[in-house]
Structure 1
Amino acid sequence: MSGGVDSAVAAARAVEAGHDVVGVHLALSRMPGTLRTGARGCCTIEDSMDAQRAATMLGIPYYVWDFSERFKSDVVDDFIAEYQAGRTPNPCMRCNEKIKFAALMEKALALGFDAVCTGHYANVVSDANGNLELHRASAWAKDQSYVLGVLTSDQLAHAMFPLGDTPSKDLIRAEAAERGLSVAQKPDSHDICFIPDGDTRGWLADRVGISEGDIVDTAGNKLGTHEGTPGFTIGQRKGLHIGTPAPDGLPRFVLEIRPKTNTVVVGPKEALDIIEIAGTSFTWCGEPQENPENEFDVEVQIRAHADPVPAVAQLVGGELIVRPANPLNSVAAGQTAVIYVGTRVLGQFTIARTVSDLNVVATA
């Protein structure tokens, strides 16, 4: 129970379904004085108190489990290491993979519980052979299957998502109000929970350190200098401060970040159109694709709120390669690509390299 309206209603529905329910809030920070001050994260003391009030209203036991050490090593330290390597990580994906459906599930099963129930908007269904599959929620705008793409067959067998068939978040809020839950109108969380002020650049600068480096074009020609690579993102246009204009007079964009050489590579907008992505760090969500060495049709989604794009995928030499029918834009190494067949989540991988429409290859 994060302290939000979704997990509160999910718990209420689980109680109504006749399950023996225990509410658990995850303590993920070693800063006990943290309170929400304008940020909308999901792991503050205020959130813990909201979760406790909801559990009391539902008449279920409530506990706070301390996973702060595991969270630091598996999510926060990983976030820092990925940026140091020039990649753009997704900490919410890592939290689902390493904390909510690994550490939390392992402890729950060891204590004799059957499943972890969350307020994510997604559905687990059985195919004709009884194999479990993860599918998109019925409410497209609130579908959260993307961030659950890291789940395995074993984890799906012990996961419950009671909100998956609810067509509107407004209906969830109305239901929470009818149940007397104080979080009915609580805003959605959207910040990185361990960066409560939202200043990712400043947070990284304090931990990674910054130093002046070169801004170069794709041929390696120096165009200017920068104050530190943590301040840049793939696709960025503003704030480059390049004194030398491009030969065609058109603006330039960040194409690649190379922390090892403290270099930022810029180029034309067309170089951000990606025609191929690939990665070796991949997992299947449920049953694996049959004969993945042969090309198979999928849809690929590279951000939680991005539209899926038709594509073909193929496993080649241990690397999952995806070629979209239409170019993807501003893709960064370290992002998670989730592949779908219809509404079903087939699997996911961490993007390790990209190939642009101008044959610019970027790796990290």
Structure 2
Amino acid sequence: MKTEHTPIFSDASAMKDLPGNSVDLIVTSPPYPMIEMWDPVFTDQDPKIGQNLKKGEGQKAFEAMHRILDPVWEKCFRVLRPGGFACINIGDATRTIKERFSLYTNHARILSAALDIGFSALPCIIWRKQTNAPNKFMGSGMLPSGAYVTLEHEYILILRKGGKRIFRSGREKEIRHESALFWEERNTWFSDVWMDLKGTTQSLGDKAERKRSGAFPFALAYRLINMYSVKKDRVLDPFLGTGTTMAAAMAAGRNSLGYEKDPSLDTVLKRSLEDLPALAREIIRDRLIRHLQFVARRVEEKGPMKHINTPYGFPVMTSQERELILNTPLHMTLSDDGRYTLEYDPRPQEEFCRDWAALFAPASEARIKIPRHSEPAKGIKQGSLF
């Protein structure tokens, strides 16, 4: 299996060259209106925004910023295939302008624009971001009526173009089953509140560069791509930044492309992707180890599991997981025109192929050692029994 990934250093208006109905999934996070770090980006495109901010006309500036984003969502709708999803990570903004504090509801404004375009809204995800802040209030402290709560969550809007995606051919159905999630992953990932993403697997890029681009955690993009696409699908990010969505697509065995108007981020992206194959192998290994940990607990508490995964031989909860396989990237090449190509191993990882059903059976005398959650996957020796 091969995948191709193309960063295009131009703003999202270049999507006019992208054929309609040619993208399976969009995962992105735009510049956040009314967050000060993005003021220059918006003002460069509409000088009236800066004037509105100076005059204290926050609501006018807010609306003008979103009018810059609106055409991007229109283009996203055009290039998305029927049944395809758009996942937009966006946070609301709080800001004091001319001594007046206010909340600017970015998620609601984008959702309204998306519905007008023709998207259908599905239940969104609230990403409860981790914070080390000791205080949970702002304003007047312990005195009533003047305080306001801190904003510690962001939204992931889940939008769909048209109705449910249909997998028609036999091969399409095979790829869908090979792209399945583990039952226990599905139960966590498809919750409407995410509190477990701490950025522990976002080993991509310098912190200062990530802050400059406003990048979301690698784990967030990787999770969404696995939830809303299948292997070999095309994933688009119209605000590519440091390439987090592209890297996650590579790790998940999807194709991708992205648009970024800041050409200086090309060097950052290349540096970020250098270690992608190794990072992907670690992420895949961690997913497999976590599944085995789940199986061990489940068998101990509930007894033998009914279904067996064919490639690996370990127990799974449902028949839909029987053909699941996580393909390991072997190596990556970069062409002269800036396109990345990844090749994947079609075989399951040898160290995870055992007669797991027998090993987990109650009558088995084999002692199974599975790493604790605190033990990194890279610390597990090749060929160990776990």
> Which TM-score applies when normalising by structure 2?
0.26
Greater share of strand: 1
> Which TM-score applies when normalising by structure 1?
0.27
Greater share of helix: 2
Instruction: Specify which structure has the bigger relative contact order, considering alpha-carbon pairs within 8 angstroms and separated by 6 or more residues.
Output: 2
